[in-house]
Amino acid sequence: MRTTRQILSKIFTQRFYVENLGFFLVLFYLLFGTVNGANLLNYHLSLIRGFLNSTSFLLIMVGIWTAYALKCTAFVMKTLQSPGYDFLYTTMGSIPTGERRRHWLFIQFNIYLPVLIYAGIAIFIAISSHKWMPAVIIGAVNIINCVWPLLLYEKKLWNPDTIFFIGHIQRWLNKHFTKPPVLFFIYELLINFPLRIISTKLASTAILWLTFLLLHRNESFDLRGLQIGVIVCALLHMQLMIHHRAFDDTYLSFMENLPIPVWRHYSRMVGVYLLLFLPEILMIICNAYADTSILGIVTTIAIGLSLLVIFRSFLYFPKMNTEIHIRYTLSISFIVLFMILAHYEWIAILLMQLIAAIIFFAKYRKYEAYIESTE
């Protein structure tokens, strides 16, 4: 029989890392993939010593760690109010207070663990270098980031209507703004999952910024390098697609029975991802217009949008869980990568658009909400 912590770990910890896989892949790429292997250790030691010796740099790191703590807290809060997890209120509520708080701490500790590991290394180096004040600040901030969310979890447990972040703005928008269907999901992200979409967009723009930085260092601007960066940006949006499917299953399933042509539903899906990809599109146009042709920019944008559309279309297959979806998206990305390197960009774009349209038109009317097996 599974223990309480094993069950909570499956509900919170495992789901957190699976749903944020794209975020951690990009983080790993930024911290380790952009540095020569021989210089990797010196790079991170220099980075740590940099914020140990600079108050402003240390404050930036504290802000980043706190932002990640907010991301962790928002995930737990959203899980508590997600359909299918109502049993957590009665289950956690029946556990004695002290034991329950230890469970909350266990959850927060596990999902905040990447920061704790890095901060622990920084504290060790700070103590070794006799940097006592930075060590105390780093330790105190990370302890606080593990403890303060517990108060919010307790409040949510006894007051289920508690909303994390911008609840009053949400009510005002609902009262004064009528949304077209293409904005339903984007509104859901901005109101109920702001940290998720913000973190995804920050990571995506960071990838593009790093891509342009590397491309501009070379004498010639290789458009294929930018297109590879766009592939990584598309992969970052996988976690948003899982939310998109859950949102459609929960709130928009009635639209399948309305007298609306399938092509309009398909246009709505494409419109959603066009709007989601708009910040990246603007960044590409502003940074690449002087180095490449209009056709090159259009090709790059079309690759990113086509990847997003085909990734989302695969979620209309039955029993397509997150793990299987990641396999498909990574496989498609590698195929597109090699086609880009061989200068077959428009063949890749047309194939992706064709496959996405075929899947959508074949599966949309037959699609049934995915229910994850509990076995």
Domain count across the chain:
2
110, 130, 164 - which closes a domain: 164
Among residues 120, 135, 164, the one where a domain terminates is 164
Are residues 112 and 218 both part of a single domain?
no
Residue 174 domain-assigned?
no
326 and 201 in a single domain? The answer is yes
What's the Cα-to-Cα distance from 235 to each of 190, 296, 310, 344, rounded to whole Å? 20, 21, 11, 20
Query: What does the buried/exposed string (b/e) look like for 237-270 if buried means 16 or more CB atoms within 10 Å of the residue's CB?
Result: bbbbbbbbbbbbbeeeeeeeeeeeeeeebbebbb
* Together in a domain, 197 and 335: yes
Least confidently predicted of 25-34, 40-49, 116-125, 164-173: 164-173
Asked whether residue 21 is assigned to any structural domain, the reply reads yes
Examine residue 16 and state whether it is found in any structural domain, yes or no: yes
**Residue bearing the bigger pLDDT, 163 or 93:** 93
Domain boundary among 164, 193, 212: 164
C-alpha distance from residue 229 to each of 205, 287, 335 (Å):
10, 13, 15
Q: What is the predicted pLDDT for the residue at 375?
A: 43
Residues 133 and 199 reside in one and the same domain: no
Does 142 share its domain with 186? Answer: no
On whether the pTM is more than 0.75, the answer is: no
Q: Please give the residue range of the domain that contains residue 242.
A: 181-363
Same-domain check for residues 208 and 148: no
pLDDT tens-digit readout, 304-349 = 999 999 999 998 887 777 788 888 898 999 999 999 988 899 999 9
Q: Do 187 and 136 belong together in one domain?
A: no
Q: Give the pLDDT confidence score for residue 372 in this predicted structure.
A: 57
69-81 core/surface letters (b: 16 or more CB in 10 A; e: else)? bbbbbbbbbbbbb
Helical H segments across 161-293, by residue range: 167-176, 184-192, 194-217, 223-236, 238-251, 262-276, 278-288
- Specify if 175 maps to a domain: no
Question: In the prediction, which pLDDT does 371 show?
Answer: 59
97 domain residue, yes or no: yes
Asked, for residue 169, whether it belongs to a domain, the answer is no
Question: Helix H segments across 218-261?
Answer: 223-236, 238-251
Q: How many residues does this entry show for the chain?
A: 375
Residue 371 lies in a domain: no
- Mark whether 101 and 189 lie in a shared domain: no
Residues 141 and 290 in one domain: no
Most confidently predicted of 75-89, 90-104, 238-252, 271-285: 271-285
Give which of 31, 375, 45 is closest to 206, Cα–Cα: 31
Is there a single domain that holds both residue 245 and residue 282? yes
Same domain (yes/no): 153, 221? no
Please check whether residues 355 and 294 belong to one and the same domain: yes
Angle at 31 between CA 286 and CA 33, to 5 degrees: 80
Q: What is the pLDDT of residue 212?
A: 84
Quote the mean pLDDT of the chain: 82
User: Quick check: is 369 in a domain?
Assistant: no
